[in-house]
C-alpha cells in the first residue's frame, strides 16, 4: 500500500504516523495521554480503507478520515484540536511556499522592482542581496519588532525603513571624521594604513574610507568639509614639489628639509623667495590635486563594494575654505565634476557634490570664494551637481564660524544632524542618522475621513474630521517614537565587533571603548512623513499650494516639531523631524493605499505619493513660487529636508539667473537646495544635453537619461527607477 504525499511522491503506508498524530491531539486537549485505544482503532480502520482502495490514497484523504472518525467518536473536542492543528500546518506550508516563491523571484530576477535605483537587481550580487533581504525582513518583523510596530508597518501607517538591516542591528548613515582618520591613519581587518603624506594619497584614502565605512551601515557616508580636510595634504605635496624644484632649478641646491616645509602655507614668503621653484611647485601641486580628484571620482563610480553591484552612497560638502590650498581643492572638485568620468565624460553619480553657501565667503561679488561659486553654478547647470547647503540656515544656529566641522552639511539624500543634546553641539563629524521611520499621512487621513473605495472627496471635510486626524496623527507620532526607541535599543545591543572598523577607528564620535551606546546617542532618530499633499486633499480638498492648505500643513508640521522636541528632552536622544526621501516607499505605500481605497482623484490616481512636504511635481508655478511655498515648512525639520526646482537645459546659458535663484533659496532660509535639469547623454559619442529621440551629433538612438531620484543622482531612470519614480519624472513640470 502506498500514500501520495503533497508533492506528488508515493511512500509506503505507515499507520503509526496516523496513530502518533491523533495522540498528539489528545495530548493538546488533556495535557496527558490517558488512553491510546481510540488512536489505534482509527489507524486500523484507515489502514483497512487503504487496503480496499484500488489506487494509492492521498495524505489529504487520510486526514479527512481522521477528522470524520473523531467527530463520530465521544471526543469531538479532540477532533476540533486535530482540525486546528491541520489548519495551522496548512497555513505554515502555504506561507513557506509563498516565501520560497518570493525568494525564487529574487534569485532568478524574474520580477525586478528596482526598489533601490543604485542596485542592479539583475546582477548576481543584486539577486543574492535581494533574496537575503527578503529573509532578513521577515526575521525582523517576526522576531525583532513589537506587535505594535509590526501592525503599523503592515497597515501602511508607520513604515520601518531598511527592515533587512534592522535584523542585524545596523545603523543608517554617518559623516566621517576625515581630519582625524587622514592625520592618524586607521586600522582595517587585515592591516593598518599610515597617515597620508600627500594630497594624492589623501584623496585615495578618502575613497577607501568611504567604502570601508559603507560596509558598517546601510545608508550614506559623507565628508562635511572636504576642502578644509585636504589643506594639510596640499601643503605636504607642495613642499615635496618645491624641494624638487630647488634640487633641479637652483644652483644653490636644496636649502631646506621637507620636515621644515611640509606644514607651511603654500603662499608663505619663504617659498616666494625662490620664484622658479615656487612656480614649479605651484604647477605640479595643481596638477597633482587635479589628478587626485579625478582618481577619487573614478574610484567612487567604479568600485562596487556593496551587494547588487552597488556603489557606496557618498557625499562631499565643500566651498567655504578661503585658504589657497582649500580654494585649489574646491576648483579641482568642480572642474572634475564638469569634466565627467570615463572616455565618454559621463556625469558622475557619486559622490554627491554639495557646495556650502556662506555669507561673506562665496555668495556675493568680492567674497573670497565668489568665483568658485560661479564655477559651481556652471557645473550644476550641466551636471546637476553640486547641490547647495545653507551654512547660515537658522536651524544650524550655534555653529562656530571658526570650526568647519560645525558648518551645516548633509549626507546627500537630505539627512542631517542638528544640535546634539548629548554634548557635541552642532558638530557634524562622527555623527549620523541612526534610524528612520515614516508616517504615511494619507492613510491616517483616509481612516478619519472613513473613506471607502467609492468615496468622494470633492467636498471639504468638517472641522471635527481635522481634529480627529490631528488626534490620530499625535497617537501615531508617539508610536513612531516608541518604534525608533525599540530600534535604537536593538542597535545598541550589538557587539562592537559587528562594526569593528567603525568602533576601532572611532569613526562614530564619542565611543568609550565599552558600550556602543556612548557613540550612538550622538546620532539622530528621524521621524519622517510621506504624502502631505495627498493627506490635505483628503481632509480639505486642496493641498498646501493654497492658503487654506498651508494653514493646515503648518499645524501638522508644528505637531511633528513639538513632539520631537519633547521626546529629545525626555529621552536625551536626538529626535528630529525628517522629510523622507521615500524612493521606494512612495510607490509601495501608494499600491497598498490603492488596494484598500481604490483610485481617488488627486490622491491615488497615480503610481506614487508626493515625497514628504514637497509641492506636487505637476503643479505649474515659477521656481521662486515653489521656493516660497516650501520655505514655509523646511524650518520644521531638523533631521533633513531638500527643496528642488525643475529647470530646462537652457539654464546653462543663463548662469546669472541660476545664481539669483540659488541665492533666493538661501535668503529664504532653505537649508538644502538642488536644481533638476535634463541630463541625457549619447552612449556612442558622449554628447550631453537635453536629447529628444536621437543624438543631434551622431544620430544614435541609445540615449542614457540621468535624473535625480532623491538627493542623489542615479543611472538611466527609464530602467533604474521603480514604476512610481518613473511616472513622477514624466510628470515633473519645468518651473518657469
The C-alpha cell 521662486 sits at 624
**Residue 121 forms part of a structural domain:** no
Q: Last residue of a domain, which of 32, 66, 92?
A: 92
**CA dist., res. 640 & res. 578, Å (int):** 5
**Residue 426 forms part of a structural domain:** no
Residue-wise pLDDT tens digits, 31-57: 888 788 888 888 899 999 888 888 888
**Quick one: 596 and 699 in the same domain?**
yes
**Quick one: 81 and 224 in the same domain?**
no
**Quick one: 451 and 584 in the same domain?**
yes
Q: Last residue of a domain, which of 68, 92, 116?
A: 92
The domain in which residue 61 lies consists of 2-92
**Quick one: 341 and 379 in the same domain?**
yes
**Residue 105 forms part of a structural domain:** no
**pLDDT for position 134:** 75
- Label residue 299 exposed, middle or buried (CB < 10 Å: 0-12, 13-18, 19+): buried
**Residue 139 forms part of a structural domain:** no
Residue-wise pLDDT tens digits, 625-649: 999 999 999 999 999 999 999 999 8
**Quick one: 397 and 467 in the same domain?**
no
**pLDDT for position 362:** 98
Contact 636, 557 (CB under 8 A): yes
Q: Last residue of a domain, which of 37, 69, 92?
A: 92
Cell numbers of 425, please?
A: 553641539
Short-list 670, 122, 72, 179, CA closest to 403: 179
Cα–Cα distances (Å) from 607 to 72, 444, 590, 600, in that order, read 55, 19, 6, 12
Cell numbers of 292, please?
A: 587626485
**pLDDT for position 85:** 76
**CA dist., res. 250 & res. 227, Å (int):** 32
- Label residue 271 exposed, middle or buried (CB < 10 Å: 0-12, 13-18, 19+): buried
Contact 560, 529 (CB under 8 A): yes
**Residue 617 forms part of a structural domain:** yes
**Residue 127 forms part of a structural domain:** no
We report the CATH number of the domain holding residue 179 as 3.20.70.20
Instruction: Give 415's strand partners.
Output: 640
**pLDDT for position 438:** 98
Cell numbers of 507, please?
A: 569613526
**pLDDT for position 472:** 97
**pLDDT for position 310:** 72
DSSP letter string, 662-709: HHHHHHTT-SEEEEE--EEEETTT--EE---SS-TTT----EEEEEES
| Chain-centroid distance, C-alpha 414 | 9
**pLDDT for position 460:** 46
**Residue 109 forms part of a structural domain:** no
**pLDDT for position 503:** 97
Helices (H), 449-520: 463-492, 500-504, 517-520
**pLDDT for position 114:** 53
Short-list 680, 674, 729, CA closest to 384: 674
Contact 527, 576 (CB under 8 A): yes
**Quick one: 526 and 642 in the same domain?**
yes
Contact 713, 729 (CB under 8 A): no
**Quick one: 286 and 371 in the same domain?**
yes
Q: Tell me how many domains the chain contains.
A: 3
**Quick one: 181 and 65 in the same domain?**
no
**Quick one: 370 and 449 in the same domain?**
no
Cell numbers of 349, please?
A: 553619480
Cα–Cα distances (Å) from 286 to 203, 280, 296, 476, in that order, read 14, 10, 15, 55
Per run of 10 residues, the mean pLDDT along the chain (length 736 residues) is 84 90 85 84 89 87 87 84 74 64 67 59 66 79 90 97 92 97 95 96 97 92 98 97 91 78 95 94 98 96 69 94 98 97 89 97 98 98 96 96 97 89 97 97 94 54 87 98 97 96 97 97 98 96 97 98 98 97 91 95 95 95 97 97 93 96 98 93 90 93 83 69 83 90
**Quick one: 665 and 553 in the same domain?**
yes
Maximum distance among all Cα pairs of the chain, rounded to whole angstroms: 115
Within 8 A by CB and 6+ apart from 262, the residues are 235, 236, 239, 240
**CA dist., res. 214 & res. 129, Å (int):** 15
Amino acid at each position: 500500500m502506498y500514500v501520495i504525499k503533497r508533492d506528488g511522491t508515493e511512500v509506503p503506508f505507515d499507520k503509526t504516523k496516523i496513530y502518533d498524530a491523533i495522540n498528539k491531539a489528545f495530548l493538546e486537549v488533556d495535557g496527558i495521554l490517558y488512553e491510546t485505544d481510540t488512536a489505534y482503532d482509527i489507524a486500523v480502520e484507515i489502514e483497512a480503507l487503504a487496503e480496499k482502495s484500488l489506487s494509492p490514497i492521498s495524505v489529504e484523504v487520510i486526514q479527512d478520515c481522521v477528522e470524520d472518525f473523531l467527530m463520530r467518536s465521544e471526543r469531538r473536542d479532540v477532533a476540533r484540536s486535530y482540525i486546528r492543528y491541520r489548519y495551522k500546518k496548512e497555513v505554515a506550508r502555504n506561507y513557506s511556499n509563498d516565501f520560497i516563491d518570493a525568494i525564487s523571484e529574487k534569485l532568478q530576477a524574474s520580477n525586478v522592482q528596482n526598489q533601490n535605483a543604485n542596485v542592479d537587481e539583475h546582477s548576481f550580487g543584486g539577486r543574492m542581496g535581494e533574496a537575503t533581504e527578503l529573509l532578513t525582513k521577515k526575521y525582523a518583523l517576526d522576531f525583532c519588532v513589537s506587535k505594535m510596530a509590526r501592525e503599523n508597518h503592515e497597515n501602511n501607517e508607520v513604515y520601518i525603513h531598511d527592515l533587512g538591516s534592522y535584523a542585524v542591528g545596523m545603523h543608517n548613515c554617518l559623516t566621517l571624521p576625515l581630519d582625524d582618520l587622514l592625520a592618524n591613519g586607521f586600522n582595517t581587518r587585515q592591516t593598518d594604513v599610515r597617515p597620508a603624506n600627500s594630497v594624492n594619497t589623501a584623496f585615495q584614502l578618502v575613497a577607501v574610507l568611504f567604502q570601508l565605512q559603507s560596509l558598517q551601515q546601510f545608508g550614506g557616508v559623507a565628508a562635511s568639509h572636504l576642502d578644509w580636510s585636504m589643506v594639510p595634504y596640499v601643503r605636504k605635496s607642495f613642499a615635496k614639489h618645491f624641494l624638487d624644484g630647488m634640487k633641479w632649478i637652483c644652483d644653490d641646491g636644496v636649502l631646506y628639509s621637507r620636515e621644515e616645509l611640509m606644514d607651511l602655507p603654500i603662499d608663505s614668503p619663504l617659498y616666494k623667495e625662490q620664484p622658479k621653484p615656487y612656480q614649479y611647485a605651484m604647477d605640479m601641486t595643481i596638477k597633482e590635486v587635479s589628478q587626485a580628484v579625478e582618481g577619487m571620482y573614478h574610484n567612487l563610480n567604479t568600485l562596487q563594494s556593496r551587494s547588487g553591484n552597488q556603489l557606496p552612497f557618498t557625499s562631499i560638502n565643500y566651498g567655504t575654505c578661503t585658504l589657497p590650498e582649500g580654494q585649489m581643492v574646491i576648483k579641482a572638485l568642480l572642474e572634475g565634476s564638469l569634466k565627467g568620468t570615463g572616455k565618454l565624460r559621463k556625469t558622475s553619480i557619486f559622490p554627491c557634490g554639495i557646495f556650502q553657501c556662506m555669507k561673506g565667503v562665496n555668495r556675493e561679488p568680492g567674497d573670497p570664494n565668489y568665483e568658485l561659486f560661479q564655477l559651481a553654478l556652471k557645473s550644476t547647470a550641466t551636471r546637476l551637481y553640486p547641490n547647495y547647503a545653507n551654512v547660515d540656515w537658522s536651524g544650524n544656529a550655534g555653529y562656530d564660524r571658526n570650526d568647519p566641522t560645525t558648518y551645516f552639511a548633509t549626507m546627500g539624500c537630505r539627512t542631517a544632524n542638528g544640535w546634539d543634546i548629548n554634548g557635541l553641539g552642532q558638530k557634524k563629524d562622527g555623527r549620523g542618522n541612526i534610524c528612520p521611520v515614516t508616517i504615511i499621512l494619507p492613510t491616517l487621513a483616509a481612516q478619519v475621513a472613513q473613506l471607502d473605495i467609492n468615496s468622494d472627496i470633492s467636498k471639504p471635510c468638517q472641522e471635527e474630521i481635522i481634529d480627529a486626524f490631528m488626534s490620530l496623527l499625535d497617537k501615531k507620532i508617539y508610536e513612531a517614537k516608541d518604534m525608533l526607541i525599540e530600534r535604537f535599543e536593538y542597535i545598541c545591543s550589538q557587539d562592537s565587533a559587528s562594526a569593528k572598523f567603525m568602533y576601532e577607528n572611532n569613526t562614530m564620535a564619542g565611543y568609550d571603548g565599552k558600550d556602543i551606546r556612548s557613540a550612538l546617542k550622538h546620532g539622530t532618530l528621524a521621524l519622517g512623513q510621506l504624502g502631505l499633499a495627498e493627506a490635505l486633499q483628503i481632509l480639505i480638498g486642496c493641498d498646501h499650494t493654497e492658503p487654506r492648505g498651508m494653514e493646515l500643513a503648518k499645524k501638522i508640521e508644528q505637531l511633528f516639531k513639538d513632539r520631537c522636541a519633547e521626546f529629545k528632552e525626555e529621552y536625551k536622544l536626538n529626535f528630529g523631524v525628517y522629510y523622507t526621501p521615500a524612493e521606494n516607499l512612495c510607490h509601495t505605500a501608494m499600491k497598498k493605499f490603492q488596494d484598500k481605497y481604490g483610485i481617488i482623484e488627486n490622491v491615488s490616481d497615480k503610481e506614487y505619493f508626493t515625497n514628504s512636504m514637497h509641492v506636487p511635481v505637476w503643479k505649474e508655478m515659477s521656481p521662486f513660487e515653489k521656493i516660497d511655498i516650501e520655505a514655509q515648512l523646511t524650518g520644521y525639520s531638523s533631521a533633513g529636508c531638500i527643496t528642488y526646482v525643475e529647470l530646462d537645459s537652457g539654464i546653462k546659458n543663463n548662469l546669472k539667473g541660476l545664481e539669483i535663484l540659488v541665492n533666493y533659496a538661501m535668503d529664504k532660509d532653505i537649508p538644502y537646495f538642488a536644481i533638476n535639469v535634463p541630463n541625457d547623454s549619447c552612449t556612442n559619442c558622449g554628447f550631453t544635453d537635453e536629447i529628444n529621440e536621437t543624438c543631434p551629433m551622431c544620430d544614435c538612438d541609445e540615449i542614457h537619461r540621468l535624473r535625480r531620484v532623491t538627493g542623489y543622482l542615479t543611472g538611466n531612470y527609464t530602467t533604474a527607477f521603480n514604476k512610481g519614480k518613473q511616472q513622477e519624472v514624466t510628470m515633473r513640470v519645468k518651473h518657469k
